[in-house]
Amino acid sequence: MTYPHPIIAREGWPFIALALVVAIAVHAYAGWAAALFPWIVLVFMIQFFRDPPREIPADLSAVISPADGRVVSIERARDPYLERDALKISVFMNVFNAHSNRSPVDGEVKKTWYFPGSFLNAALAKASLENERAVLWIKTAQGADVTCVQVAGLVARRILCYAKAGQILTRGQRFGFIRFGSRVDLYLPLDATPRAVVGDKVYATESVLAVLPATP
C-alpha cells in the first residue's frame, strides 16, 4: 500500500530532537554513565512515535482497529453521540504501543466533536465519558454509522484529530494521534458481528475488530 507518512510520526519529531540534543550534551560533558538515562529516553521516544505502514484487509465490510493495543471491552452500550444503542468495542493503548490512529472504515465524516475532561486511567470504563476526548461520526457508503472516539488517559495530555466534517476517509487512513497512553472506543451498529474478543492484542489497520452487515 502507498504510505504517505514517515515511519516516525511527525508529532514526535520535536520530542525526539530534544531528547537527542540532551543525550548528546550530557554524554559530551558528563560521560556515558550520566547520559544513560537520556539515551534510554531517546529510545523510548523513537519507539513511541513509530508509525509503521500496515496492510489493509481485503474484506470491505471489515471494521479494522483504529489503534494498536489490547481489546478491553466488547459490549452493547449507548452511543452518547448519536443517541442510539450500539456495539461498543474499546482498545486500550499503553505507552509502548504505536499511537497513530487510523480510520476503521471507508466513509464520510459527518460530524466531529471535542470534549474537555479528566485524565483518568484510560483502562477504566468511566474514562469513555469523563476523560478528554475527540469524536468522529463516520457514515459508510452502505449507510452504516460508525462513531470513533479518541480518549485521553492518565498520562496522555494531548489528543490530535485532523479529520474534518465532509472529509472522505479510507480504511487505514491516518486521522490523528494521542500522546502517551490512551484508548479508542468504537460504536457500531448492533447488527455488526464482532471478530475480536476481550484480551486480544490488535494492530491499527491490520486487525479486524468486527464485520458490518452488507446493508444497514
The answer to whether the CB of 45 falls within 8 A of the CB of 187 is no
Cell of 10: 511527525
- Based on the number of CB atoms within 10 Å of its own CB, is 56 exposed (0-12), middle (13-18) or buried (19 or more)? middle
| Residue of 90, 103, 128, 182 marked active site | 182
SS (HEC) of 102-167: ECCCCEEEEEEEEECCECCCCCCCCHHHHECEEEEEEECCCCCEEEEEEEECCCCCEEEECCCCCC
Q: Is 100 a catalytic residue?
A: no
Active site residues: 182
